[in-house]
């Protein structure tokens, strides 16, 4: 009998989520990621996502892009993982989407995908935008340990933007360390 196995490269720095909200890993304290590290991780993940979408004959739509599915090697190089929900993008010129039952993680799901059951690359891009916000804030997208009005990161972000108080959403370890370009593009 033949058994097929899947072998992954060992990623000693865990997930992006581990490094953003956990205080220790295997008994060792975790130092908050610097802005430069976060930027490098985001650029690496974006390149991986771009490869999935455009780097092969048929694109791959991941369907579950989130901080806990971005693994980090010893140099904090990002690798996208967990392709259990992914779909091959075999779309035609007459149809630019895949009709499918909505699957993924609450908080990262593209609202258009939720409303129409139409999966596109844009669904992954929306989820990646949420990951960028998580990276900037250092908070999980949903945090049931906080007061109800603070549980949804997206709601908090919208409120901060509407009130013109964007600093309130930025991770305390990054305060004063971001360039003006970051603020101008929020």
The catalytic site residues sit at 64
Q: Cα separations (Å) of 167 from 94, 140, 153, 172?
A: 45, 17, 14, 9
Q: Cα separations (Å) of 65 from 26, 85, 169, 171, 174?
A: 25, 10, 21, 21, 24
Question: Given phi > 0 = left and psi -120 to 50 = alpha, else beta, which region is 11?
Answer: beta
Number of alpha carbons in the 13 Å side-chain half-sphere of residue 48: 20
User: Are 89 and 121 contacting, i.e. CB atoms less than 8 angstroms apart?
Assistant: yes
Q: Which residues contact 22 (CB under 8 A, 6 or more apart)?
A: 30
């Amino acid at each position: 009998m033949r058994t097929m196995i899947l072998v992954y490269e060992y990623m000693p720095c865990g997930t992006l989520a581990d490094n953003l909200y956990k205080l220790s890993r295997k008994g060792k304290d975790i130092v908050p990621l610097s802005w430069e590290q976060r930027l490098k991780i985001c650029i690496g993940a974006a390149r991986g996502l771009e490869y999935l979408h455009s780097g092969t004959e048929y694109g791959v739509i991941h369907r579950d892009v989130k901080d806990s599915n971005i693994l980090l090697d010893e140099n904090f190089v990002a690798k996208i993982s967990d392709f259990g929900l992914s779909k091959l993008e075999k779309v035609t010129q007459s149809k630019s989407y895949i009709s499918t039952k909505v699957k993924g993680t609450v908080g990262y799901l593209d609202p258009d995908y939720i409303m129409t059951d139409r999966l596109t690359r844009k669904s992954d891009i929306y989820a990646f935008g949420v990951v960028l916000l998580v990276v900037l804030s250092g908070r999980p997208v949903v945090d049931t340990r906080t007061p109800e009005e603070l549980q949804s990161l997206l709601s908090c972000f919208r409120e901060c933007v509407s009130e013109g108080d964007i600093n309130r959403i930025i991770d305390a370890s990054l305060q004063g360390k971001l360039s003006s370009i970051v603020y101008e593009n929020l």
